[in-house]
Amino acid sequence: MNNRRKKPTEPQRRGRHPRPADRLRAKHKAPAGGTAESSSGPGIRLQRFLAAAGCGSRRQCETFIAEGRVEVDGQVVTQLGTKVDPDSQHVSLDGESVRTARLSYFAVHKPPGVLSTSRDPSGRTRVIDLIPSDQRLYNVGRLDKSSEGLILVTNDGDLAQRLTHPKFGIEKKYLVLVVGHPHRDQLDQLERGVHLAEGLAKASRAEIKKRAHGGTWLEITLQEGRNREIRRLLARLGHKVIRLIRVAVGPVQLGALAVGEHRKLTAVEVQRLKSWKPPRRPDTRQRRMDKRSPS
């Protein structure tokens, strides 16, 4: 009997469940040795070509391939790692031809009730519906239906991948109105971390901005993007969220952009997003000591 233990996968080493994209890669991994049209030979990986053409982030494009929605020269391709030559081969997604597109970048002020999803069978208003364009656009990351504020929209799959991948540490800043008056110790707990169902989650910064009758405005900065993370974190501390507004994504600010309106990002903003490095911050204890020490 072979008692050798199987080598753990990378997600197992990190002590968490594999992401959906990790499972897709494992299921549709190219066979050892590959083929001329899969993991070796000339051309560009199919998911990268789709992302560059504005079909979605690279991770979304991997899902499209695995779901059998992509064809190359009329043949459905489901194997991740397949390479294509855009100059000599025809690629289609959901029956529509895919070609490299002019890259576009927008900031949108999402109103409450608008969905940040690419598809909605019920036909409800989506963030991308707020931008009149004949390009295939998609939002970068999400805000839940009840939340509002800044969301970026683009057809640059490589940048979308960078902005949504946790290793790049893109900061998102929120103004949050909660019921009650959180204590400083509770905000320190947010920065140290709170256990949610999928593991430890924390804010990189949490500050009190203004106290109002029956509630408090907080400014919370995250480098993560879990589903309804701020609402769940504050609920664990006993404070229900009344209103949540995202006011910044990395160097891009919501500013005076009106609800439901959009604007093009400047060349400087795009370059700063592409070269973003999270600012170094002093540890929580040191910041608290600095704040409480007399000037």
Tell me how far CA of residue 96 lies from CA of 58, 65, 90, in angstroms. Answer: 18, 14, 10
Same domain, 145 and 199: yes
3-class state of residue 109 by DSSP: strand
**Distance (Å, rounded) from C-alpha 224 to C-alpha 201?**
8
Whole-number percent of the chain with pLDDT over 90:
48
Instruction: For 71-85, write each residue's pLDDT tens digit.
Output: 999 999 999 889 998
pLDDT of residue 88 exceeding 90, the answer is no
Question: What pLDDT is stored for residue 282 in this prediction?
Answer: 56
Same domain, 111 and 93: no
133 inside domain: yes
CATH number of the domain within which 71 lies = 3.10.290.10
Same domain, 85 and 117: no
Question: What pLDDT is stored for residue 98 in this prediction?
Answer: 86
- Average pLDDT, stretch 147-151? 97
Show the tokens assigned to 81. Answer: 């790692």
**Distance (Å, rounded) from C-alpha 246 to C-alpha 186?**
21
Same domain, 125 and 256: yes
Instruction: For 256-272, write each residue's pLDDT tens digit.
Output: 999 999 999 999 999 99
CB 216 within 8 A of CB 234: no
pLDDT band with cut points at 50, 70 and 90 for residue 36 = very low
295 inside domain: no
Is residue 94 part of the annotated active site? The answer reads: no
- Average pLDDT, stretch 50-78? 89
290 inside domain: no
159 inside domain: yes
Out of 49, 66, 97, a domain closes at 97
162 inside domain: yes
pLDDT of residue 35 exceeding 60, the answer is no
**Distance (Å, rounded) from C-alpha 150 to C-alpha 133?**
19
Same domain, 33 and 154: no
pLDDT band with cut points at 50, 70 and 90 for residue 14 = very low
87, 120, 134, 144: which is the annotated catalytic residue? Answer: 144
22 vs 196, higher pLDDT: 196
Measured in residues, the chain has a length of 295
Instruction: For 90-126, write each residue's pLDDT tens digit.
Output: 999 998 888 777 789 999 999 999 999 888 888 899 9
Query: Which residues contact residue 125 at a Cβ distance below 8 angstroms, ignoring those fewer than 6 apart?
Result: 113, 114, 115
8 inside domain: no
Spatial CA neighbour of 103 closest among 153, 30, 46:
153
Question: What pLDDT is stored for residue 53 in this prediction?
Answer: 81
Instruction: Note every long-range contact of 250-257, with CB atoms under 8 Å and residues 24 or more positions apart, other chains counting.
Output: 250/163, 250/170, 250/171, 250/172, 250/276, 251/276, 252/107, 252/150, 252/152, 253/150, 254/107, 254/109, 254/149, 254/150, 257/107, 257/109, 257/150
Same domain, 145 and 235: yes
Question: What pLDDT is stored for residue 288 in this prediction?
Answer: 54
Question: What pLDDT is stored for residue 254 in this prediction?
Answer: 97
Q: How do strand 148-154 and strand 241-249 relate by DSSP bridges?
A: parallel
Same domain, 93 and 112: no
Out of 97, 118, 142, a domain closes at 97
**Distance (Å, rounded) from C-alpha 187 to C-alpha 173?**
15
Same domain, 80 and 129: no
Same domain, 182 and 50: no
256 inside domain: yes
Range with the poorest average pLDDT among 54-68, 199-213, 241-255, 277-291: 277-291
Same domain, 152 and 214: yes
Question: What pLDDT is stored for residue 26 in this prediction?
Answer: 52
Domains: count for the chain: 2
Show the tokens assigned to 221. Answer: 């900065």
pLDDT band with cut points at 50, 70 and 90 for residue 292 = low
Spatial CA neighbour of 62 closest among 23, 89, 115:
23
pLDDT of residue 37 exceeding 50, the answer is no
pTM for the complete prediction?
0.67
66 inside domain: yes
**Distance (Å, rounded) from C-alpha 261 to C-alpha 109?**
6
Same domain, 249 and 173: yes
CATH number of the domain within which 197 lies = 3.30.2350.10
pLDDT band with cut points at 50, 70 and 90 for residue 34 = very low
pLDDT of residue 32 exceeding 50, the answer is no
Q: Which domain holds residue 54?
A: 19-97
Out of 97, 123, 144, a domain closes at 97
Same domain, 88 and 152: no
Instruction: For 207-217, write each residue's pLDDT tens digit.
Output: 999 998 889 99
**Distance (Å, rounded) from C-alpha 82 to C-alpha 181?**
55
